[in-house]
Amino acid sequence: MTLENKKIGLIVTGGIAAYKSLGLVRSMVKQGAEVRVVMTNAATKFVTPLSFETLSKNNVLTDLFSEKESEHVAHIEFADWADLLVVAPATANMIAKMANGIADDFASTTLLATEAPKVVVPAMNEHMLMNPAMQRNLRLLEQDSVQVIEPETGFLAEGYSGKGRFPELETIMAVVNANFSDKDKPLKGKNILVTAGGTQERIDPVRFIGNDSSGKMGFAIAIEAQKLGANVTLVSGVSKLPDPVGITTIRVKTAIELSEAITRRFAEQNILIMAAAVSDYRVQNVADQKIKKDEDTLTLTLEKNPDILKQLGKIKQNQYLVGFAAETQNGLINAQEKLEKKNLNLLVLNDVSNAAIGFNSNENEVTLLRPQMENIFIKQTSKKQIAGELLNVVISDLKK
């Protein structure tokens, strides 16, 4: 039994698919898991707690303030007990609460209090699912390393076909099982350092030279690497994205700071993925005071920043080194040259002249170059997907 001795907390919220979670409890129990169920008040309108109690052989928890045993706080005890929390079905309402850290009932308070991994199974009307607020909330969950299972397309309770259906039980169980399987953690025991975001080089106390990098690509790689079991350190330049949960995140501003942060941690790393957009130059004489507009022209002298990637390529021992090249023209030729010159194991070529992809966008389209190997083209898709595919290539290279 694959889930023997595993403690799974199932949180059922008030959607029409709530009855399908009864099947989920059966599958989990059948595989040996101990299952305890929390239901929201809305969920109890769809299915009775008795059904879940019977199948899970445990009391169902619903009310934050009806804790009978005063020596412990039930929602904290539940949050600490679970090895994994599964929210199925997850209403739009609960997803919004999770994305914003709202804790106003037993279910949402437990979700905020737990350190266990979380799987969320959204199920709702297609228009609710596609609402920009909903999509924004789902992205926030993913940034917080919550595993969101994509809803399926098919016949909805509303009587028409659309996206938003509760997935097949096998799909959900595969994700549940993956959380307990080392087979799906090929990067377990590996230390990965990822850089992300853009650097800022000061001109004076109120101005700087920066770039358009949002950090989305590097953050996605860090989050996916963590899911694959790696110990991840994220060195982020300027990015509005929040620190991903469970990932050591170091914030820097300048290229020099970035270089120092990497060099200090280089020796213990197995893999380095340099997705940050680092300024090639910095201002030679940074002004102590705000520069006045007295003159018609202003000349700034720039000096070269250290080429971090090249330096790492020179000193690397067994580290697998990945670089990013943002090109606007002659991409492949420049990238091939960079790959060789900098002694990289892999170079990700990113055509930033296309506004639909690259800097700031949620999607990207890249070519992966490796020495003496065929290039791999990944057509336009989410940065999360690109991160996963890139890491799969790294994993298969490391096996060789």
Min. distance of Cβ 43 from ligand FMN in angstroms? 5
Of 14-22, 168-176, 361-369, 390-398, the window that binds ligand FMN (rule: CB under 6 A) is 14-22
Q: Which two tokens stand for residue 227?
A: 């899911």
Kindly write down the DSSP assignment for every residue of 9-47, as one continuous string: EEEE-SSGGGGHHHHHHHHHHHTT-EEEEEE-HHHHHHS
Q: Is 342 annotated as a binding residue?
A: yes
3-state class of 397 per DSSP? helix
Among 21, 62, 91, 345, binds ligand FMN (CB under 6 A): 91
Of 40-48, 209-217, 259-267, 352-360, the window that binds ligand FMN (rule: CB under 6 A) is 40-48
Min. distance of Cβ 160 from ligand FMN in angstroms? 14
Q: Is 104 annotated as a binding residue?
A: no
- Within a 13 Å sphere around the CA of 20, how many CA atoms are in the beta-carbon half? 21
- Strand spans (E) along 40-183: 84-90, 118-122, 147-148, 152-155, 161-165
Min. distance of Cβ 158 from ligand FMN in angstroms? 9
Residues with a catalytic annotation lie at 211
378 binds ligand FMN (CB under 6 A): no
Q: Which two tokens stand for residue 393?
A: 């290539």
Min. distance of Cβ 111 from ligand FMN in angstroms? 11
Distance CA 201, CA 357 (A): 25
Among 15, 197, 215, 388, binds ligand FMN (CB under 6 A): 15
Binding-site string for ligand FMN from residue 320 to residue 339, where x marks contact by CB under 6 A and - marks none: --------------------
Among 6, 11, 13, 236, binds ligand FMN (CB under 6 A): 13
Distance CA 376, CA 346 (A): 11
Q: Is 52 annotated as a binding residue?
A: no
In Å, what is the CA distance from 57 to each residue of 13, 111, 328?
19, 22, 61
140 binds ligand FMN (CB under 6 A): no
Q: Is 63 annotated as a binding residue?
A: no
Min. distance of Cβ 178 from ligand FMN in angstroms? 25
131 binds ligand FMN (CB under 6 A): no
Which residues, 214 to 243, sit near ligand FMN by CB under 6 A? none
User: To the nearest 5 percent, what fractions of the chain are helix, strand and coil?
Assistant: 35, 25, 40
Name the residue among 278, 252, 280 with its Cα closest to residue 264: 252
* # residues near ligand FMN by CB under 6 A: 15
14 binds ligand FMN (CB under 6 A): yes
Which residues, 146 to 175, sit near ligand FMN by CB under 6 A? none
Q: Is 280 annotated as a binding residue?
A: yes
What are 38's strand-pairing partners? 11, 61
Among 42, 209, 241, 332, binds ligand FMN (CB under 6 A): 42
Q: Which two tokens stand for residue 104?
A: 């106003």
Which residues, 94 to 113, sit near ligand FMN by CB under 6 A? 94
Eight-class DSSP state of 348: E
Note every long-range contact of 54-62, with CB atoms under 8 Å and residues 24 or more positions apart, other chains counting.
Answer: 55/22, 55/25, 55/26, 55/29, 56/10, 56/25, 56/29, 57/29, 58/34, 61/36, 61/37, 61/106, 62/38, 62/106
Min. distance of Cβ 113 from ligand FMN in angstroms? 17
Interaction site with ligand FMN (CB under 6 A): 13-17, 40, 42-43, 91-94, 123-124, 128
Known binding site for CTP: residues?
280, 290, 306-309, 324, 338, 342
